[in-house]
């Protein structure tokens, strides 16, 4: 019992002052509450930010694929227009002979109420082909002029095209002519030079044999070809010319592989971002020579490939978090491009560090804010508690004086709270003790004078 009165064996917390102990408990409680609140807020913000970043990256990948696809769509539209013109020429050239009087296919209206009528007929005339050395009919000459002018105009307004041509089956455009396939490149256009491809040289090419077999539009994979002494990487769009269900030939437009550069996306917020294209065989086409022309499966580890394969199988836009061949965590975004049966992919990639940068900054700021808030709250609570408990020290000091026999204690506290009640009670006790002591002193004084007849009650 003596040890307990000396304070030995009492825990450290119990030896603390009440204000300090209350400040510690309230600080810990406040920290836990704030930590839980901050975790909830940061987690909610993380989900929202991740979704925003994913949407942003998916939009960039979709925009990149749209840029690439728009060039191919433009090439398709051009060849569709040429094909329609060829069908018109074919439909009006039947039965026409070399040297016949040219007939105007169109009737003219001069004024709102005029009767449609053709212009005056030309005299019989013999036309010479501009591509092969032989005579042709008027319709064949007009058709040939239409072909050459269309090819010229196609290249004139489209720098992404290396060249364009119309490749015919033997005798399909000019009876008795096996080799009739006019082709103009950007370089030969300047010199007004037309190449006439030989049928045996083109009939087994992918862009010709494939459309002849299927009678459907076709886009080749990227390949290397020499045009006018220059080597180009290119993609060929092939659009078959079908008349009455019969394959007559195909219209080709060679698209420069530099069009792939149009997919490049840059964002200062994501310095690790890069984009490239995967063709239908998984070959990478990139500005980076370390990856250009390589298969994706030869670069990424097997685990990463298996993660991506499910997305490829869906044939829809998707994203995955993978670990690449360098052991770096990256976010990969893929957007499909359907090129008439060939499924290509635009690939956009950023590091996980860039992806989480905003979230990490938010976590840091949230943690810093939480710690500073707890410190500030603790300081405020210490001041408030210390000020609130200061009157108790007066009570404690009064108790010590009373224990030492000093009852000359005056307690002043004007608030009517719990401490006020305590002080009022203690003041009453002190008053009673003073009265008792005063009464005893008087009686003892009388006794000392020999007066034993007084009332001791």
56 against 298, higher pLDDT: 298
What is the average pLDDT across 104-116? 76
pLDDT of residue 453 exceeding 70, the answer is no
Place of tokens 């079908």: 242
Of all helices (H) and strands (E), which one includes residue 238?
Answer: strand 230-243
| DSSP tag of 257 | G
143 against 43, higher pLDDT: 143
**Tokens representing residue 265 in the block:** 């996306």
pLDDT of residue 234 exceeding 70, the answer is yes
What count of other Cβ atoms lies within 10 Å of the Cβ of residue 24?
A: 15
DSSP string computed for 248-294? EEEEEEEEEGGGGGGG----TT-TT-EEEEE-TT-BEE-SSTTTTT-
The pLDDT tens digits for 348-379 are 999 988 888 877 887 788 778 777 877 787 78
Question: What pLDDT is recorded for position 14?
Answer: 64
The pLDDT tens digits for 43-81 are 787 787 778 888 888 888 888 777 777 777 888 888 888
Distance of alpha carbon 329 from alpha carbon 191, whole angstroms = 53
Distance of alpha carbon 430 from alpha carbon 436, whole angstroms = 10
Compute the mean pLDDT over every residue in the chain, rounded to the nearest whole number: 81
pLDDT of residue 228 exceeding 50, the answer is yes
Give, rounded to a whole angstrom, the gap between the first and last alpha carbons of the chain: 37
Quick one: pLDDT band at residue 1, thresholds 50, 70, 90?
Answer: very low
Question: What pLDDT is recorded for position 18?
Answer: 67
Question: What pLDDT is recorded for position 113?
Answer: 66
Distances (CA, A) of 221 to 238, 258, 279: 12, 14, 7
For helices 352-403 and 418-448, angle between their N-to-C axes, nearest 10 degrees: 20
Least confident of 116-125, 132-141, 289-298, 399-408: 399-408
pLDDT of residue 273 exceeding 50, the answer is yes
Distance of alpha carbon 259 from alpha carbon 161, whole angstroms = 9
- 3-class secondary-structure state, position 88: helix
Question: What pLDDT is recorded for position 205?
Answer: 93
Question: What pLDDT is recorded for position 171?
Answer: 92
Distance of alpha carbon 103 from alpha carbon 92, whole angstroms = 10
Distance of alpha carbon 411 from alpha carbon 441, whole angstroms = 24
């Amino acid at each position: 019992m003596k040890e307990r009165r000396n304070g030995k064996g009492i825990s450290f917390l119990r030896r603390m002052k009440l204000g300090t102990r209350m400040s510690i408990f309230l600080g810990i409680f406040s920290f836990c509450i704030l930590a839980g609140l901050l975790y909830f807020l940061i987690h909610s913000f993380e989900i929202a930010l991740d979704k925003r970043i994913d949407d942003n990256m998916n939009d960039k990948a979709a925009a990149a694929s749209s840029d690439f696809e728009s060039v191919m769509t433009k090439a398709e539209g051009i060849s569709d227009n040429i094909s329609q013109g060829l069908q018109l020429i074919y439909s009006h050239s039947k039965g026409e002979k070399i040297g016949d009087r040219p007939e105007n296919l169109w009737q003219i209206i001069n004024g709102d109420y005029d009767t449609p009528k053709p212009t005056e007929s030309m005299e019989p005339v013999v036309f010479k082909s501009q591509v092969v050395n032989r005579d042709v009919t008027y319709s064949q000459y007009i058709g040939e002029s239409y072909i050459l002018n269309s090819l010229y105009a196609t290249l004139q307004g489209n720098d992404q095209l290396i060249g364009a041509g119309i490749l015919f089956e033997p005798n399909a455009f000019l009876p008795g002519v096996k080799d009739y396939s006019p082709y103009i490149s950007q370089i030969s256009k300047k010199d007004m030079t037309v190449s006439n491809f030989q049928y045996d040289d083109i009939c087994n090419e992918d862009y010709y044999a494939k459309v002849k077999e299927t009678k459907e539009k076709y886009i080749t994979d990227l390949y290397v070809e020499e045009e006018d002494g220059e080597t180009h990487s290119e993609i060929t769009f092939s659009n078959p010319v079908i008349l009455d269900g019969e394959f007559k030939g195909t219209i080709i437009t060679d698209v420069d592989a530099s069009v792939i550069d149009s997919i490049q996306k840059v964002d200062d917020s994501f310095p690790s971002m890069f984009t490239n294209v995967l063709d239908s065989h998984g070959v990478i086409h990139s500005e980076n020579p370390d990856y250009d022309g390589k298969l994706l499966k030869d670069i990424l580890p097997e685990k990463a490939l298996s993660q991506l394969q499910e997305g490829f199988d869906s044939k829809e836009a998707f994203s995955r978090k993978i670990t690449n061949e360098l052991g770096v965590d990256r976010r990969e975004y893929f957007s499909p491009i359907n090129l008439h049966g060939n499924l290509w992919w635009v690939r956009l990639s950023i590091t996980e560090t860039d992806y989480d940068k905003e979230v990490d900054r938010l976590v840091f700021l949230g943690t810093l804010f939480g710690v500073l808030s707890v410190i500030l709250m603790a300081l405020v609570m210490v001041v408030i508690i210390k000020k609130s408990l200061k009157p108790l020290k007066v009570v404690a000091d009064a108790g010590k004086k009373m224990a030492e026999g000093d009852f000359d204690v005056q307690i002043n506290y004007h608030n009517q709270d719990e401490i006020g009640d305590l002080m009022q009670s203690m003041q009453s006790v002190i008053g009673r003790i003073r009265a008792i002591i005063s009464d005893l002193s008087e009686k003892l004084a009388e006794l000392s004078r020999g007066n034993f007849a007084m009332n001791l009650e």
